[in-house]
Chains A and B, each alone.
Chain A
């Protein structure tokens, strides 16, 4: 499955996209605990100090949402358009 990062989080991660092989469906929260930032901290740990929003298949979701083995997941800071 594909994980995308946008804006400040994309810069922190140093990449806009990673590929993760899931053997079974999981949750957004569990996925955040699997993904490490370059400083070694997981996204889960980082989200205690900064707001990290999530989308699964292009719909905004919370940490309890299900991620399937073929989902497109994205993490990003709160949006600032308009």
Chain B
């Protein structure tokens, strides 16, 4: 299975990532991806930017384990995970999880599970710039519920 995990300050191109996934996983007929971008508002307040902090070393390990778990559950031909760090602006790309499988069912499920696990297990933290300063984004209990559902 092709695997690429990147944590980077630089932007990424969806087109290039999907082309790479397709080329590198020749048996795959089904590709599914999720991508997340910086919102321009949160909790009814305008957001001027987002700073992403992470735990170097641990984040890479966690993402690697999340891909391992997806590969254990489904027959996958390729996975690309890209997550940005540092200062981002509204509209900027944050994350990409892309999966290649033989058929769509596996691709949809693996993509969703990896995002759910990434949300609760990967050591990233977001700090928003708002009109009167900054605030750390709070974890949502619904994310934990979604991730836990995969363990059932």
The finding on whether chains A and B are genuine partners in a shared complex, rather than unrelated, reads yes
Chain B residues whose C-beta falls within 8 Å of the C-beta of A8 in the assembled complex? 125, 136
- A6 near B53 with CB under 8 A, answer yes
Pick from A78, A80, A81: contact of B83, CB below 8 A.
A81
Q: Which chain A residues numbered 41 to 59 have a C-beta less than 8 Å away from chain B?
A: 51, 55, 58-59
Q: Smallest distance from the beta carbon of B58 to chain A beta carbons, Å?
A: 4
Q: Which chain B residues numbered 117 to 152 have a C-beta less than 8 Å away from chain A?
A: 118-127, 136-139
- A82 near B118 with CB under 8 A, answer yes
Pick from B57, B122, B138: contact of A82, CB below 8 A.
B122
Chain B residues whose C-beta falls within 8 Å of the C-beta of A58 in the assembled complex? 55, 57-58, 61
- A81 near B126 with CB under 8 A, answer yes
Cα–Cα distance between A4 and B119 once the two chains are bound (Å): 21
Q: Which chain A residues numbered 1 to 24 have a C-beta less than 8 Å away from chain B?
A: 4, 6-8
Question: Quick check: is B98 within 8 A (CB to CB) of the other chain?
Answer: no
Q: Which residue of B lies closest to A7 (CB)?
A: B125
- B123 near A79 with CB under 8 A, answer yes
Q: Smallest distance from the beta carbon of A26 to chain B beta carbons, Å?
A: 21
Chain A residues whose C-beta falls within 8 Å of the C-beta of B53 in the assembled complex? 6-7
Q: Which of A8, A55, A81 has the most CB of B within 10 A?
A: A81
- B55 near A80 with CB under 8 A, answer no
- A74 near B138 with CB under 8 A, answer no
Question: Quick check: is B54 within 8 A (CB to CB) of the other chain?
Answer: yes
- B121 near A80 with CB under 8 A, answer no
- A81 near B57 with CB under 8 A, answer no
Chain B residues whose C-beta falls within 8 Å of the C-beta of A80 in the assembled complex? 124-126, 136-139
Q: Which residue of A lies closest to B125 (CB)?
A: A7
- B58 near A7 with CB under 8 A, answer no
Question: Quick check: is A60 within 8 A (CB to CB) of the other chain?
Answer: yes
Q: Smallest distance from the beta carbon of B131 to chain A beta carbons, Å?
A: 20
Contact with B along A54-82 (1 / 0, CB 8 A): 01001110000000000000101111111
- A6 near B125 with CB under 8 A, answer yes
